[in-house]
Structure 1
Amino acid sequence: MKRTPWLAGLAAAVAATAITGCSANPGNDAAATPAAPKLAVVATTPEVADFLRNIGGDAVDVTQIIKPNVDPHDYEPTPADLQAISKAKLVVKNGVGLEEWLDRTIESAGFSGTVVDSSQGVTLREGGHEHEEGEEEHAEEAGEEEHDPHIWHDPRNAKIMVQNIEKALTTADPAQASTFAGNVSAYTAELDKLDADNEAAFKAVTNRKLVTNHDAFGYYIARYDLEFVGSVIPSMDTSAELSAKQLNDLIAKIKQTGTKAIFAESSLPPKTAEAIAQQAGVKVVAGEDALFGDSLGEPGSPEGTYLGAERHNTQVIVEALAG
């Protein structure tokens, strides 16, 4: 990876901030009865942060590293990120290699708490639907087994993720165990409803062929019995590009299979998808209807939560395929 020198600079900035903070006068608040401190938790992705807020409630103070519509695959942490990590008791990540930048960042921040991998126990998909030329061979030579990190797109996996989060929060703050247990029970019921609603929505859909901006919906496709035709970016991350042959093959496959649309994603520019759609003679679903592949919507919007973003995705896909 290419990102090592800047971490030293960020670590120095964090140290300088800490020294400055130590010299501040705390004031005379001895007469006030301090409220129970909230558990300081850092979440890497919008999805994980939303899970934490739902399970932790008022007992946790969540700092979300990756903001909405920011690509998590190639993220570069900021001094504020290191500062938050250095003060946290827990860092909760998606896992499955999504946050390649995290280990180096934690080391530079001097983090001494617990790292929670919310993917533990999830059955992983091996690889993506398609790969860049030579990508599989490179992974094999490196002794790595590539798995799809977009696990949250199957609500059953989201249930496992929130259970992992509940266990970690309970271990860190046992006094709040009953609160966390009640929250995870209520939220699990919402995840079950999301899953059932998604299944019901696809029952009447006969054309189930899907072309997306990148290969981020493998768990969703498998869960709801859709057919993956291809992706504009031929990879599970967003760094790859279509070769001329892959571009022509994708256009031909779209035409041959009767695919109706290409779905853009909120965190990726739609230009290439629009160009392919024009050549293939199909519509591109973009703008406000873009899917949430790697991100959630803006805070405060209906799509700013995991449940809202997934409902949005299902509604957009069903309407486009049925239409």
Structure 2
Amino acid sequence: MKQYLVAAAALALLAGCGSGGTDAAAGSPGGTSISVVATTPEVADFVRHIAGGDVRVTQVIKPNVDPHEYEPTPADIQAIGQAQLVVKNGVGLEAWLDQTIRSAGFKGSVVDSSQGVELRKGDPGDEEMKDGDPHIWHNPLNAKIMVTNIEKGLAAADPAHASAYAANLTSYSAKLDQLDADNEAAYAKIPAEQRKLVTNHDAFGYYVDRYKLTFVGSVIPSMDTSAELSGQQLTELVAKIKATGTKAIFTESSLPPKTAEAIAKQAGVKVIGGEDALFGDSLGPDGSYLEAEQHNTQVITSALAG
């Protein structure tokens, strides 16, 4: 991890100075709330909805930052060291987290929000992806499992607010059910033979499975964003796009669109990007999971129906 030793050394300096940066987690005055570190934008949004106003949440990975390539900062280490609870996506997405927790001297509990989710197979040749596909949140039913795990973790760490966490879980789970129903209704209007998807990288497997899409391929041939297409793979993807009658390549907000644009030009299809780029590994600037997933469905269904 290229920056890890630098970050660890900087932590010692921060601790010695008693620094309490604005992003560092800390209990509220009077000690009535706990501090939680959430790793990804999706997990952080889930924590905020379940916690309500009773918890201070520090989000490690900011919007439109690639989680596969993330390296912890001194502020991340400091925040984890001061937190009572760390909530992670799991399934190997946060490859940096265990070492960071050790360096921070974290003594609290870790909530793995993926517990109980039925995982898609990962890439056995990829160390980060070997445990399975980590993009579990793209199925709202998986998101319900994730928020249930988060509610249990919060209640265990902060029993005084357990009833509030339970009520928030009930309310937010209903919104996830509505999201799933709306997605199903949107795809019911698209003939099955038109539901073909090409994306920047293989981040939408759970979404594809849930809503019965056909995944044609990805610009990056992996669930991890560090992989690259070979010349032969590029040629094969262009041929597959043409052969299947795929209408578009969907870019993602956290990844550059250049290669997707080149492939689309060769295949003679349009590129969906800019403000319509999908939220694959990230969320929008407002950090809303529900709005990001609604956006993805609206963009995909509009392009496939057009």
Using the size of structure 1 for normalisation, the TM-score is: 0.88
Task: Give yes or no for the alignment of 1:319 onto 2:302.
Answer: yes
1:224-269 residue CA offsets vs partner (Å, 9 max, x unmatched)? 0000000000000100000000000000000000000000000000
**1:12 aligns with one of 3, 9, 34:** 9
The 3-state SS of whatever aligns with 2:92 is coil
Counterpart for residue 200 of structure 1 = 185
Cα distance in 2 between the residues matched to 1:38 and 1:175 = 9
Which of 238, 259, 271 does residue 284 from structure 1 map onto? 271
| Cα separation, 2, equivalents of 1:124 and 1:220 | 12
Contact 1:8 1:108 in 2 (8 A): no
Distance 1:18 1:234 in 2: 42
- Structure 1: how far apart are the matches of 2:31 and 2:178? 34
CA displacement at 1:107 relative to structure 2: 1.1
1:179 is the counterpart of 2:176: no
Deviation at 1:56, TM superposition (A): 0.3
Structure 2: give runs of 5+ residues left out of the alignment: 20-28
- Of 71, 74, 78, 1:76 maps to 71
Normalised TM-score (structure 2): 0.93
The equivalent position to 1:155 in structure 2, one of 140, 151, 154, is 140
- How many Å apart are 1:14 and its aligned residue? 1.7
Max Rg structure: 1
Does residue 1:45 correspond to 2:40, yes or no? yes
1:86 equivalent in structure 2: 81
Task: From the superposition, tell whether residues 285 and 48 of structure 1 become closer, same or farther in structure 2 (CA, over 3 Å).
Answer: same
For residues 190-269 of structure 1, the aligned pairs below 5 Å read: 190-206=175-191, 207-269=194-256
1:145 offset after TM fit, Å? 4.1
Once the two structures are TM-superposed, the CA of residue 146 in structure 1 deviates from its matched residue by 3.9
Over 3 Å counting, the alpha-carbon distance change for 1:154 and 1:45 in structure 2 is: same
| Secondary structure, aligned partner of 1:11 | helix
Q: Once the 2 structures are TM-superposed, how far is the Cα of residue 12 of structure 1 from its aligned partner?
A: 2.7
Structure 2: distance between partners of 1:127 and 1:259: 25
Aligned-pair Cα RMSD in Å: 1.4
Specify every segment of 5 or more residues in structure 1 that has no aligned partner in the other structure, as ranges: 23-33, 129-135
1:27 maps to none
1:208-233 per-residue CA deviation (whole Å, 9 max, x = no partner) reads 01000000000000000000000000
Contact 2:253 2:279 in 1 (8 A): yes
Distance in structure 2 (CA, Å) of the matches to 1:146 and 1:58: 34
Question: Which residue among 280, 284, 290 is the counterpart of 1:307?
Answer: 290
Q: Which residue of 1 aligns with 2:90?
A: 95
